[in-house]
């Protein structure tokens, strides 16, 4: 795989690892981001890894654009030979699927949807070949997800499910974006899951809502006191379906300052995963549940 | 020492030179849309160039001062008035405790910068006082000003005289029609040759959806894409890509119809192809463009982009020289 380089104006270099999404491309992105960070090239001001690409922002008064381009190309070879392993963490995130708030919102924007007669869950289940929404939710919550990019708005994770390509959930975005999405909506567009960190516009299909804040500029939430954004690229997420009662309990515990997500450290190897996806995922879930 | 907000204006926010370092987590730079005007405003009142000031868009606020202060208004031609008396723009003037600063109707440009000696002393968040409204971060409670707000002022770092002014020649006026220089790149190859040509040939107009996140343009011909089988994960529309980072100034064209230039409060990434990037030297200009401004995009290469950047830096040096204390 050879990366494609392009200048984004006079202050950015864009590096496309691959046109298509894959865990291999994602590992290419984060390992190159790491190589650029560790190289400490003068004039590099920000390094932004994304799903299958990365962006390097620089100050052209400090380093000439072509000089930086050469340095990045040299680092590509270094990162390509890097071990495809990651010391990371796995987080369990409760999700209230088919909740009343996203349901109310999706009904308000029905005329912007591909299938106005169905809910987003019913539509996604049907076009992905599931017998019904229960089977679809079970698949969504069964295998873990990689956080492959953080952004769009503050702290929003893009997530890629750790399953073989034929099992990937794929849905189009709304025909026209909504002007409203509840905060903490669990959504999906293309092959990516997301959690909306703030209320606002959005085009992803809406499947449910989590009671777990992931961005808190006021830093009142206990686990966000150290830093206001929860996710980092490379985090692994496992969703756990909860009903209304447990959702309300978690919200109440959160407000009392007593709730925190279950987080465990985890080691991930891309080669091991590709050899045995189901076995690797089972191992990750054992780690999560402390076995 | 404080300022009482009597009327907030349309959308007045506290801004400085921004909050670099968190774009990889979706928190954009923010800061003044017209950075040169902010720097000049701060220099006029004796502040450091990056002190926090107020950015008012289209319609000015009404502000009552609780203490004497040295004040200036730069950027858009939004005529300042002190207790109803007209004051010159781009000039430092003295305000006495109890006086009210208000504004006439906008004559030219879009964003005015109101700097006060000592700066607006809201708490710095992640190293900046800039307001990022979408993330409810920074500024005054992460939002635009409201009537009744009290804005704390800092201690002036140095005393400077009233009446100092930025020479006319160094105040870059907003131009109509506007020209924005673009370096093609990113996913430029996705467009057909005729679309690449029409993008630069057509006259576009700033759409009403133009804010700190981005400026949308309408009126040019729709852009056609080179046919391809969409890569896995990119989405079905030919304008879609696998979600990537978005450079500041990058020009995305969802569905090939209406270009959007991302600005200081940019969404940091997403799934729309970008055809190139407005050069850094022209980003300030965008902040002064009103809706309906006829606009041409002009193709440039990297050496022209860097020459324009140098020219802009030289102009800033001249402003510093003119105002040195």
Regarding whether A117 and A76 lie in a shared domain, the answer is no
Residue A67 belongs to a domain with what CATH number? 3.30.1360.40
* Percent of chain B's residues with pLDDT above 90: 96
pLDDT tens digits, B206-217: 999 999 999 999
Number of structural domains found in chain A: 2
DSSP code for B318 = H
pLDDT tens digits, A227-260: 999 999 999 999 999 999 999 999 999 999 999 9
Residue B66: what are its φ and ψ, rounded to 5°? -95, -5
Nearest chain B residue to A233 by CA: give it.
B25
Tell me the Cα Rg of chain A. Answer: 20
How far is residue A130 from each of residues A43, A49, A127, measured CA to CA in Å?
Answer: 50, 33, 8
Regarding whether A45 and A102 lie in a shared domain, the answer is no
Regarding whether A130 and A56 lie in a shared domain, the answer is no
Taking contacts as CB-CB distances below 8 angstroms, the residues of chain B near A19 are 231, 234, 241-242
pLDDT tens digits, B136-185: 999 999 999 999 999 999 999 999 999 999 999 999 777 788 999 999 99
Strand partners, B13: B55
Regarding whether A231 and A116 lie in a shared domain, the answer is yes
Regarding whether A182 and A134 lie in a shared domain, the answer is yes
B52 CB-near residues (< 8 Å, 6+ apart): B14, B15, B16, B119, B120, B121, B122, B129, B130
Taking contacts as CB-CB distances below 8 angstroms, the residues of chain A near B233 are 20-21, 51-52, 160, 170, 190-192
Provide, for chain B, the percentages of residues in helix, strand and coil under a 3-state DSSP scheme, each rounded to the nearest 5.
20, 35, 45
Regarding whether A148 and A93 lie in a shared domain, the answer is yes
Residue A83: its pLDDT value, please? 83
A264 neighbors A90 (Cβ within 8 angstroms): yes
Taking contacts as CB-CB distances below 8 angstroms, the residues of chain A near B134 are 153-154, 198, 200
A and B: number of Cβ contacts within 8 A: 180
Provide, for chain A, the percentages of residues in helix, strand and coil under a 3-state DSSP scheme, each rounded to the nearest 5.
35, 25, 40
Report the complex ipTM: 0.96
Regarding whether A251 and A128 lie in a shared domain, the answer is yes
Residue A84: what are its φ and ψ, rounded to 5°? -90, 60
Candidates B240, B278, B302; nearest CB to A7: B302
DSSP code for A26 = H
Q: Among B188, B182, B217, which residue's Cα sits nearest to residue B203?
A: B217
Residue ranges and CATH numbers for the domains of chain B are 2-170 (no CATH), 178-313 (2.40.100.10)
Region class of B143: left (phi > 0), else alpha (psi between -120 and 50), else beta? beta
Average pLDDT of the segment spanning A25-32: 94
Q: Does A152 score more than 70 pLDDT?
A: yes
Candidates B232, B244, B280; nearest CB to A191: B232
Candidates A6, A12, A153; nearest CB to B267: A153
Mean predicted lDDT score pLDDT of chain A: 95
Taking contacts as CB-CB distances below 8 angstroms, the residues of chain B near A47 are 24
Regarding whether A75 and A113 lie in a shared domain, the answer is no
pLDDT tens digits, A31-86: 999 999 999 999 999 999 999 999 999 999 999 999 999 999 999 988 888 789 99
Cβ neighbours around B64 below 10 Å, total: 16
Regarding whether A259 and A192 lie in a shared domain, the answer is yes
CA distance B82 to chain A (A): 36
The pairing of beta strand A236-241 with beta strand A85-97:
parallel
CA B306-B312-B315 angle, 5° bins: 145
Regarding whether A116 and A75 lie in a shared domain, the answer is no
Q: Does A291 score more than 70 pLDDT?
A: no
Q: Does B281 score more than 80 pLDDT?
A: yes
The three-state DSSP-derived secondary structure of A63-131 is CCHHHHHHHHHHHHHHHHCCCCEEEEEEEEEEEEECCHHHHHHHHHCHHHCCCCCCCHHHHHHHHCCCC
| Structural domain for A105, as ranges | 87-288
Q: Among A102, A265, A260, A117, which residue's Cα sits nearest to residue A194?
A: A102
Residue A1: its pLDDT value, please? 64
Domain boundary among A81, A109, A142: A81
Q: How far apart are CA B207 and CA B254, in angstroms?
A: 15
Taking contacts as CB-CB distances below 8 angstroms, the residues of chain B near A45 are 20-21
């Amino acid at each position: 795989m050879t990366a494609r380089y392009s200048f984004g104006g006079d202050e950015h270099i864009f590096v496309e690892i691959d046109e298509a999404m894959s865990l291999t491309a994602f590992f290419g992105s984060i390992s190159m981001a790491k190589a650029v960070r560790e190289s400490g090239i003068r004039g590099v001001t920000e390094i932004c890894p994304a799903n299958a690409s990365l962006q390097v922002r620089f100050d052209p008064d400090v380093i000439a654009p072509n000089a930086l381009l050469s340095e990045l190309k040299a680092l590509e070879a270094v990162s390509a030979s890097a071990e495809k392993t990651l010391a990371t963490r796995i987080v369990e995130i409760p999700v209230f699927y088919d909740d009343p708030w996203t349901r109310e919102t999706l009904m308000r924007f029905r005329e912007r949807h591909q299938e106005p007669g169905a809910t987003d869950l019913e539509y996604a289940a049907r076009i992905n070949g599931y017998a019904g929404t229960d089977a679809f939710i079970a698949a969504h919550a069964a295998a873990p997800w990689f956080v492959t990019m953080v952004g769009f708005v503050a702290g929003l994770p893009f997530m890629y499910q750790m399953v073989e390509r034929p099992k990937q959930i794929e849905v189009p975005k709304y025909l026209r974006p909504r002007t409203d999405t509840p905060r903490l909506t669990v959504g999906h567009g293309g092959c990516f899951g997301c959690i909306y960190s703030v209320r606002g516009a959005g085009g992803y299909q809406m499947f449910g809502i989590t009671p777990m804040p992931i961005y808190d500029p006021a830093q009142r939430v206990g686990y966000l006191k150290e830093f206001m954004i929860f996710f980092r690229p490379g985090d692994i997420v496992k969703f756990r379906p909860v009903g209304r009662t447990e959702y309300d309990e978690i919200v109440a515990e959160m407000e009392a300052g007593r709730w925190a997500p279950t987080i465990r450290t985890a080691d991930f190897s891309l080669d091991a995963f590709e050899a045995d996806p189901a076995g690797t995922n089972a191992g990750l879930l054992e780690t999560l549940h402390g076995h | 020492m404080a300022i009482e907000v009597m009327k907030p204006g349309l959308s007045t926010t506290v801004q400085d030179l921004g909050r670099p370092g968190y774009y990889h987590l979706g928190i954009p730079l923010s800061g003044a849309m017209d950075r040169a005007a902010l720097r000049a405003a701060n220099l006029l009142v004796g502040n450091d160039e990056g002190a926090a000031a107020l950015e008012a868009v289209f319609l000015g606020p009404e502000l009552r001062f609780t203490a004497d202060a040295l004040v200036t208004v730069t950027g858009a031609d939004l005529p300042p008035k002190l207790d109803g008396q007209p004051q010159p723009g781009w000039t430092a003037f003295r305000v006495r405790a109890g006086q009210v600063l208000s504004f006439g109707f906008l004559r030219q440009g879009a964003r005015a910068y109101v700097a006060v000696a000592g700066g607006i002393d809201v708490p710095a968040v992640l190293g900046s006082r800039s307001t990022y409204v979408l993330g409810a971060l920074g500024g005054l409670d992460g939002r635009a000003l409201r009537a009744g707000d009290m804005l704390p002022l800092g201690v002036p770092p140095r005393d400077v005289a009233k009446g100092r002014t930025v020479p006319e020649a160094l105040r870059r006026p907003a131009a109509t029609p506007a020209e924005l220089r673009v370096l093609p790149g990113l996913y430029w190859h996705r467009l057909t040759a005729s679309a690449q040509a029409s993008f630069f040939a057509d006259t576009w107009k700033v759409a009403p959806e133009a804010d700190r996140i981005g400026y949308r343009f309408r009126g040019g011909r729709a852009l056609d894409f080179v046919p391809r089988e969409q890569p896995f994960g990119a989405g079905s529309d030919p304008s879609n890509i696998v979600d990537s980072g978005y450079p500041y100034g990058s020009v995305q064209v969802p569905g090939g119809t209406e270009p959007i230039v991302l600005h200081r409060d940019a969404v940091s990434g997403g799934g729309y192809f970008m055809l190139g990037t407005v050069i850094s030297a022209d980003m300030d200009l965008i902040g002064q463009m009103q809706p309906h401004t006829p606009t041409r995009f002009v193709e440039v290469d990297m050496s022209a982009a860097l020459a324009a950047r140098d020219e802009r830096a030289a102009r800033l040096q001249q402003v510093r020289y003119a105002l040195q204390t």
